[in-house]
Amino acid sequence: MKFNTLAKAIEIFDLFLSSRKPLEVHELAASLKMPKSTAYAYIAFLKDKGFLQPADQEGKYKLGLKFLDYASVIRNQIQMTSVALPYMQELGGQFKDTVILTVRNGGYSYIVEKVEHDVGLVYMRNIGDRRPLYCGASSKIHLAYMGHQEIEQYLKHTKLTAYTDYTITTNDKLLEDLERIRSRRYAFSNQEIDSGASGVAAPIFDKGKVVASVCLVGPGNRINSQTQNEIAIAVKRCAEAISRKLGRN
């Protein structure tokens, strides 16, 4: 069933949140100024997706357990960013360049924290921005540490579109780069997604799995093939410190 859905679903969630109690269909319909038949349709749809569930009182509904899945993700991200931030600030201060923290969701990496320094290039990405997994140092960390079958499926269903002249657009070259990343435990990118911006990234582990990537981003005259080894040592040290801290929490 197709609705004008997202805005109306958010209104329904907000109504449950503000009321702090189970609601009947007629209460939803009256509060949101919709016919009862439409309210029933929304409830059926949201109940099927796990966002609503029947309450103990007959005829009433409450928020569903699906929200616990989202809450778990948010709690993990809040914990991770609070743990990572001091180390990111130290790394950014050392090189006077921007540091980003990314997590993976599906075929993209998302920026969840950022420390910026106004020296030279200002990295023009913001918290919440996403990038495809196949380009950019931070994104490629997530792709490199996926399982081999998962990588194959990703490449099978993903067109490697060029963002700049430096974007890797063939599977063979990308697979070579991913193998190099796993071997060195860091990724280097040169203007693969943003012209003028290069980066060095390293994986953050929690319980043996890569849960995030930390990346130093800056202009190519500061982050390049001549400086990447020195920078990589510092970025890996930062990632390892965050990993250790997460493991203790």
Per-residue pLDDT of the chain (249 residues; tens, 9 = 90+): 444 677 888 888 888 888 888 988 888 888 888 888 888 888 888 888 888 888 888 888 888 888 877 776 676 667 788 899 999 999 999 999 999 999 998 899 988 899 987 655 556 678 878 899 999 999 999 999 999 999 999 999 999 999 999 999 999 999 999 999 999 999 999 999 988 889 999 999 988 899 999 999 998 889 998 999 999 999 999 999 999 998 754
Domain with CATH 3.30.450.40 in the chain: 75-248
Helical (H) or strand (E) element with 165: none
| Rounded alpha-carbon distances, angstroms, from residue 84 to 3, 138, 153, 216 | 40, 15, 31, 13
What is the per-residue pLDDT across 30-52, written as a single tens digit (0 to 9) for each?
Answer: 888 888 888 888 888 888 888 88
Give φ, ψ of 218 to 5 degrees. Answer: -165, -175
3-state SS, residue 96: coil
What is the per-residue pLDDT across 95-143, written as a single tens digit (0 to 9) for each?
Answer: 999 999 999 988 999 888 999 876 555 566 788 788 999 999 999 999 9
**C-alpha triplet 128, 108, 185: angle, nearest 5°:** 105
Per CATH, which fold does 75-248 belong to? Beta-Lactamase (3.30.450)
Contact yes or no for 141/100 (Cβ under 8 A)? no
Contact yes or no for 133/142 (Cβ under 8 A)? yes
Q: How much is the pTM?
A: 0.71
The domain 5-64: what is its CATH number?
A: 1.10.10.10
Return contacts of 24-32, CB within 8 angstroms, 24+ apart. 24/59, 24/60, 24/61, 25/59, 25/61, 32/8
Give pLDDT, residue 1.
43
Q: Calculate the average pLDDT of the chain.
A: 88
Domain with CATH 1.10.10.10 in the chain: 5-64
Q: What is the rounded distance in angstroms from the CA atom of residue 100 to the CA atom of residue 40?
A: 44
Which residue type, as a one-letter code, is found at position 192?
Answer: E
